[in-house]
Structure 1
Amino acid sequence: MARGIGMQPDAVLYRAVIVKTYADGEAVTVHEGPYDGPGPARARVTFWQNHFAERDNGDAAGGHIEHCRPVWEKVPDAAPHPSTRATTAAAEVKTPAGPAAQLILAAMKERRGMHGKHAADLLVQHGYTEEAEQIRCEVRAQSGHLSAKQALHLLSSTTTKGEHHA
């Protein structure tokens, strides 16, 4: 949980170090904080001392407080979010030749996780049956493992200025 503890450049933070000793001899050290002053940290040590004293079963608690001056460092930027990968993948593809490839590229910019089969279906809907069949054959050859980006590369490599190579 975030706390508004007024982090000035020379800020001092405090924490409570509590040592809980149980009747069977087990000792556990826990840390609570950070706090912006020593008072809340001391209060936590006192709370645990009183809490264990009320048990009256041989358990005890003690502790102390510690302070520090944090040093802040920039965290490296995170990897791109998965939702941006579709547009990034579409942008990485060279400008495809032919209207069928352009159609797939436009769809890739709008949709995320587009499969090669989806690209073929889109082409059929717009009358590009030869290109769609070419993609479907490759989907079968790849045992169903063909992305729309790979389908676009397939069309781009076999098409020059809208014409098919023999």
Structure 2
Amino acid sequence: MNDVTIRAAKPDDATAIRRVARGVVARGLRRGRGGSGGGRGRGPVVRHRGTPREHDAGRRRVPRRDREGGGSIVGFVHVAPITGEDDAFDLVRIYLVPEEWGAGVGTRLLDHAEARIRERGAERLRLTVVADNDRGVGFYESRGFERIGEREDAALGVQEYVYEKEL
């Protein structure tokens, strides 16, 4: 994990970010989970809300794994302000290539995102996760998120939990 650097996304990263996202979504499709990004008990899953182009790239962070002087993007986190709630942000998505699951990169990405939005005046971070994604639920609960609701995603045909964390 020491060779992972987290930095702001740049326009040139768009192709690599899409590759990571598509890989996670394709893994979910192979498991019969629609676009949810993972199967039961697999990596963190968050609801899709638009495409990366719809949001400010300055709020997206990418970890790079350095290998012999080069680097490749192994994941990303994307947060956005919640309309009408001045003190709240939405964790839109956090994706990592499966090879990085359990290596602490997701925690570092989340910590980095929380620090950045605190600087922008955020007091709360909210997210949704597919209810039967035990690994994702455990990831968020172990990092201080509290379940504040449930809902059904009619488009995906899945039950989701809504979580929030006071920052």
Asked if Structure 1 and Structure 2 have the same fold, meaning a TM-score greater than 0.5 normalized by the shorter chain, the answer is no
Q: Which structure ranks higher in relative contact order (CA pairs < 8 Å, sequence separation ≥ 6)?
A: 2
Specify which structure has the higher proportion of helix: 1
TM-score relative to the length of structure 1: 0.25
